[in-house]
Structure 1
Amino acid sequence: MAAGGWVCFLTGLLSLACAVDHQHQGEADTYHVSAGHLFLLRCHPADAHSQIMWSRGDSGNESLPTGVEVRDGLLWFRPVQMTHNGSYVCEKRDNTRSSKRIFRVLVSRGDCPDPNENITVTKGLQPGLECKQAEIFRLNLARKIRWMKDCHLMEMDKGSTYLKEQGSLRLPPVTEREEGKYTCLIDITIDGRNYTTARSIQLTAKSGPPEVFPELHVVSPQKDVVIVQVGKRAELQCLAYAGFSEDPEIFMFWTINGTETSDHMELTHSWKFIHDKGQVYGQSILSIPVVRREFLNVPINCHILSPAEEKLGEARLQEADYSTFYTNVALWLIAPITCLLLTALFFICQFDLILAYRKLNTHFSKPQVPDGKHYDAYVSVSQSAMLSLDGVACFALQILPQELEQKYGYYLYIRGRDDFPGEAVHDVITAAVHQCQRLIIILSSCGKSKETVQFREDQNQLLYEQKVGLHDALMQNDPKVILVEVDGPVDYSQLPESLRYIKRKQGALEWKNSFAETNKLTQLYLKRNFWKNLRCQMPAVPARRLQSIT
């Protein structure tokens, strides 16, 4: 083998050895625990593609002792026994590498084990002691937290308080009196059995010039509610005032529902100092690549720590509610369609609605004071048409009275039917028109030459009816005029200007004696529509008349 090949071969073996065994890199982690207590050890963050194996002894060749078991990659001591004293090896394997980590467990008797950590605090400062039992908090079970000092249970007073999320202990300003061993006890129930866990910290006070720390102030979040979408990305920003200079002892981190974000491998956070107008702020960004439902509606706290104090900012994630948006969109879409439908329905059924309202109003309204009107309508028809007995005469003398008088109780004065021969024509017309609430003018659809002859023959009558009826209708709106065209369009050029004006202003009703030539459904619809329209333009019939014809 060539020299270069040997170099590559040896280099590969060295890399493989480094990847396979890392147990001798660094010292073993040491934990002081109490016999009879619950204790958990976590090796490495594991994923679906890795395997966690536990063994006993520095070499990792011994099996686990009685009372020690592996659950979900964690090593459980349920409870700790004196025989559990010794070393434990955790090995993590995946497709590419293997790594080891050694833990040394030192078992002592009593409820307050030896300290795992020594803290030195300058006198006068008010420190916070954390209950560093992350594995117990990760269980998310109901728990009770107690603190002991020098193995004696502490009574909480105004100078020392719990911080609920982490069970931390806030002490008064440190003096020699506060020195000692502090033990955090957590009472918890697992599988119906009660356990206690313990972790001790040694606190030492030192003398020195009083340190001045800036008063921290959380700018945001302050119980903010952030709207997010489940399965989408989200970011939270924490901003805190940190004084006028960057203090290296200030630290920021996040917790979700009381557990640190390090428990969730996909979450990342970063923090830095930023400067604004001579002031310094701590800024931390929590990145959530995929929002899970377990992150919704739980407190997400930003912690800002200095040697003197700790401040919390709180935010909650809330799932976006699109029901209101969809409802508004639906309303915006439905509203115009509904308006169009209602408008179309009104135009189709407007006559029925008007007549129904009029009928109800007639029955429930108070009796009207008599207005001197004896007839509901004056029916004006050219006398030549009446004498010829054509379609106009048939409509005026038979169809119109049969429908309005016999069915609905209207009183009509029909020129040529209700006047008597020998009466003074002008006096009769004047008296009759003044006693009518409507003026129905029936116009013929005769050809131009015939209409001209008829107009000339009835000139005196029409001109006088125009003078008496149309003049009052146009000037005083009493009586109201109704134009009815019989058997086709009418040539209004041969009629007075007043009739042409009324035609342009309000139109005219059309009646065809040829309705009978259409199919029955069309005939029925056209006739009903005509009579409904005419009745809407006529005055309401008094209730007493309606009762007399029923």
Structure 2
Amino acid sequence: MNLIASGSTLIVDCNITDTKENTNLRCWRVNDTLVDDYYNDTKRIREGIETNVSLKDRILYTVNITFFKVEMEDYGQPFVCHAGVSTAYIILKLPAPDFRAYLIGGLVAFLLLVVSVLCIYNSFKIDIVLWYRSAFHAAQAPDDEKLYDAYVLYPKCPRESQGRDVDTLVLKILPEVLEKQSVANVIDENVKLCRRLIVLVSPESSSFGFLKNMSEEQIAVYNALIQYGMKVILIELEKIKDYSTMPESIQYIQQKHGAIQWNGDFTEQSQCAKTKFWKKVRYRMPARRYPPSSPVQLLRHTPCNYTAGK
């Protein structure tokens, strides 16, 4: 039996040793019919020209059969080589499936599927999460005993005016000297009630001593990162190429959580919740609580020359 793949070309020799005086007919038959007659219409299988080689007292005859294209009907069919009363035959057998090829093909297809799913998820992750929150929202508020979704911390640039000394006295010196402890306690309590800390920075923030001298900023960032393990959302008001001049806490937040860059203007168009910027912010914020019970609450405190709010 020969293992031959369908569609292949095959040549099989039939070697016969006979005496020089013998005149036996040598031929190939299928279904008791000469091969050339059986396949006369298609000529797909043909008997070859007989050749011979003279030996000492015998002759070696060779007659072959050629399958120009093996088809399914040929499998299991005996092809018989006749030499007088002597015969020999071949039967073509379909090869067993190569399971290794199927296995490798299946693994490759699975890996391609996984990579495709990951690429799609990474491309549309924010939209998927926001859609899931909207479609399968919970009616109950989170049970983390938090009152606010975020504590917002952002810089207020110093004004160039004659009132700078008065501002310094009112907004910096008096709070630090008279209310330092009470302000710190209020900030600590307020931060403790928030689920996120939102920090807005700009390239000028480093030159304004951001987070270096202000008690509010120091307490808020410390509590968020160390004490309460809050998630921090860092927003760049302008593209910041170099964070090396920023405080170490801001560098740490940027390295661990990355930053979202504000790319709109301060018009009504920039307030659309479906823009890419707001989708990124909403993605990092806690899931919305349903049903909404009241308008957004504002938590505002203004120590020194910075403003914090909800």
| TM class, shorter-length | 0.5 to 0.7
The corresponding residue for 2:35 is 261
Contact 1:237 1:286 in 2 (8 A): yes
Contact 1:448 1:491 in 2 (8 A): no
Distance across 2 between alignment mates of 1:272 and 1:315? 26
Contact 1:270 1:286 in 2 (8 A): no
Q: 1:461 aligned to 2:241?
A: no
Return the letter of the residue paired with 2:147: H
CA shift for structure 1 position 526: 11
Q: 1:287 aligned to 2:72?
A: no
The 1:439–1:260 alpha-carbon spacing in structure 2 relative to 1, beyond 3 Å, is same
Return the letter of the residue paired with 2:154: V
Q: 1:436 aligned to 2:210?
A: no
The 1:438–1:251 alpha-carbon spacing in structure 2 relative to 1, beyond 3 Å, is farther
Q: Report SS of the residue matched to 2:225.
A: helix
Distance across 2 between alignment mates of 1:259 and 1:488? 87
CA shift for structure 1 position 536: 0.9
The 1:524–1:346 alpha-carbon spacing in structure 2 relative to 1, beyond 3 Å, is farther
The corresponding residue for 1:372 is 145
Q: Report SS of the residue matched to 1:362.
A: coil
Contact 1:445 1:489 in 2 (8 A): yes
The corresponding residue for 2:284 is 537
Contact 2:30 2:80 in 1 (8 A): no
Please provide the CA RMSD for this pair: 4.9
Contact 1:261 1:268 in 2 (8 A): no
The corresponding residue for 2:305 is none
CA shift for structure 1 position 435: 1.8
The corresponding residue for 1:354 is 129
Return the letter of the residue paired with 1:313: I
User: Which of 480, 489, 500 lines up with 2:240 in the alignment?
Assistant: 489
- Aligned identity (percent) is 23
The corresponding residue for 1:314 is 91
Distance across 2 between alignment mates of 1:317 and 1:300? 14
Contact 1:443 1:490 in 2 (8 A): no
The corresponding residue for 2:275 is 528
Return the letter of the residue paired with 2:145: G
Contact 2:206 2:247 in 1 (8 A): no
Distance across 1 between alignment mates of 2:187 and 2:29? 99
The corresponding residue for 2:227 is 472
Distance across 2 between alignment mates of 1:313 and 1:513? 80
CA shift for structure 1 position 261: 2.8
Distance across 1 between alignment mates of 2:62 and 2:121? 64
Give matches, 1:385-404, under 5 Å. 385=157
Look at both structures and tell me which one has the larger radius of gyration over its CA atoms: 1
Distance across 1 between alignment mates of 2:244 and 2:92? 83
Q: Report SS of the residue matched to 2:6.
A: strand
Contact 1:252 1:302 in 2 (8 A): no
Distance across 1 between alignment mates of 2:151 and 2:118? 34
The 1:539–1:355 alpha-carbon spacing in structure 2 relative to 1, beyond 3 Å, is same
CA shift for structure 1 position 310: 5.1
Return the letter of the residue paired with 2:189: A
Distance across 2 between alignment mates of 1:511 and 1:311? 86
Contact 1:439 1:481 in 2 (8 A): yes
Distance across 2 between alignment mates of 1:491 and 1:226? 65
Deviations for 1:370-404, whole angstroms, at most 9, x for unmatched residues?
Answer: 1222221111234x45x97xxxxxxxxxxxxxxxx
Distance across 2 between alignment mates of 1:472 and 1:540? 23
Aligned length: 250
CA shift for structure 1 position 504: 1.9
The 1:225–1:272 alpha-carbon spacing in structure 2 relative to 1, beyond 3 Å, is farther
The corresponding residue for 2:259 is 508
Contact 2:48 2:65 in 1 (8 A): yes
CA shift for structure 1 position 529: 0.7
CA shift for structure 1 position 360: 3.5
User: Which of 12, 37, 55 lines up with 1:236 in the alignment?
Assistant: 12
The corresponding residue for 1:36 is none
Deviations for 1:305-337, whole angstroms, at most 9, x for unmatched residues?
Answer: 675x7554333899xxxxxx9xx99x989x86x
Return the letter of the residue paired with 1:468: N
Give matches, 1:333-348, under 5 Å. 345-348=120-123
CA shift for structure 1 position 429: 1.3
Contact 2:146 2:195 in 1 (8 A): yes
CA shift for structure 1 position 542: 2.7
The 1:489–1:310 alpha-carbon spacing in structure 2 relative to 1, beyond 3 Å, is closer
Gaps of 5+ in 1: 1-219, 274-281, 319-324, 389-421
Contact 1:269 1:286 in 2 (8 A): no
User: Which of 73, 82, 94 lines up with 1:297 in the alignment?
Assistant: 73
Distance across 2 between alignment mates of 1:255 and 1:524? 87
Return the letter of the residue paired with 1:285: N
Contact 2:188 2:223 in 1 (8 A): yes
Contact 1:440 1:481 in 2 (8 A): yes
User: Which of 177, 181, 184 lines up with 1:426 in the alignment?
Assistant: 184
